[in-house]
Amino acid sequence: MTNVAVIGSQWGDEGKGKVVDWLSERAHVVVRFQGGHNAGHTLVIDGVTYKLSLLPSGIVREGKLSIIGNGVVIDPYALFSEIETIGKLGVKVTPDNLRIAENAPLILPVHRHVDHMAETTRGKGKIGTTGRGIGPAYEDKVARRAIRVCDLADEDILRDKIQNLLVYHNALLKAAGAPAMTVDEILKPLLDIAPKILPFATPVWLLLHTLKRDGKRILFEGAQGALLDVDHGTYPYVTSSNTLAGAATVGAGVGMNSIGYVLGITKAYTTRVGSGPFPTELHDAIGAKIGKIGNEFGTVTGRPRRCGWFDAVLVRQTVKIGGISGIALTKLDVLDGFETIKICVGYKHDGKLYDYLPASMKIQAEVEPIYEEMPGWSESTHGKRSWAELPAQAIKYIRRIEELIECQVALLSTSPKREDTIMVHDPFVD
């Protein structure tokens, strides 16, 4: 058996929540290793819908240990709001089933203020941030002025670190004409919430080492998608963390040999929320139809997602960059009934052909997709649970995707229900 990392292979919203929940049945531990509460994972279990942003998807399963790693930035108020929400749905969260890295950085109210201010001043160049303070919190981490979970245990250290942090952020707020924040505005709420969060704090790196030594199967759950990676995504229209599987080792404190299989969650078409390049985006009735059938609205923001045809060029690129071993193809049923389906197999720009997406902002914004057309299928794939039940043309579409992205399909999802999953091979088996 091996440990598995799950990442999105596109711009997020690929259906990671359901797949992680499905895989968690085979795992003992589920670990979030990057991002913040800008992630949105929707799970449908026994008719009950759970919408998670910060908590690992394994939290809704009894007997599973969920871990928030040091690579995650944590808004403590959002965390306990989420805990309260799922508590009303019957999920009890205690230190027995949730652990939080003691060295994880916190998102503070000042981060949200600065985030909103920065996005507003960008005007037409808006990145599409959720405004939840994720980026500024990561900036503070890199600048070595972050407040971490362990700091909540010492009021003197906490006060000193807040003073240092506000020297920087109040200068930005003042420059924007916004009111400065005081130390007590941040300190008092943190002292109030400290007794609630500290019981969950632990040296996660040590815990994971022990769990691995004891033969426990670990599932590393990524947030967002590979094309939003701060290094390898469509910069600057990206998130503020590394979203590839390599980030799991740093964001959880485990060695590179701790991950044996990388599963890339891949939607059967392409979507994106917010600003940024999108070569296969459809601005016509077909795009609107895909969005309507697929219920393409952000779990966190509620914003409608931009929709387009499957982009094999981008997924092939993320397969290589992300070290993806196999993909979980989701939402195939959304394409039921389309007479013709297109797949992007290359780009052209200024007379030049590309089999990858260049890093240049200008080229990314201007490339034209080169499409290959395939016949669609009229039969329904919704809820199918075996390969034999799939229409022949749907199988051809899947096989063509495998050829183009140079990666095999490991799982196939045919509805939001966890049971409607076809396993081609088990990622947990070497």
For residues 273 and 157, give the distance between their C-alpha atoms in angstroms, rounded to a whole number.
39
Report helix, strand or coil for 377.
coil
From 13, 21, 333, 420, active-site residue: 13
From 21, 37, 41, 333, active-site residue: 41
209 is catalytic: no
Residue carrying the six token digits 């049923």: 333
Report helix, strand or coil for 333.
helix
283 is catalytic: no
Q: At what angle do helices 392-405 and 312-322 cross, to 10 degrees?
A: 50
DSSP state of 238: S
Beta carbons of 44 and 18 less than 8 angstroms apart: yes
Rg (CA), the chain: 22
Residue in 301, 267, 276 with CA at minimum distance from that of residue 405: 267
Beta carbons of 40 and 82 less than 8 angstroms apart: no
CA dihedral 135→136→139→143, nearest 10 degrees, is: -170
Burial class (CB in 10 A: 0-12, 13-18, 19+), 109: middle
DSSP state of 11: S
Active site residue ranges: 13, 41
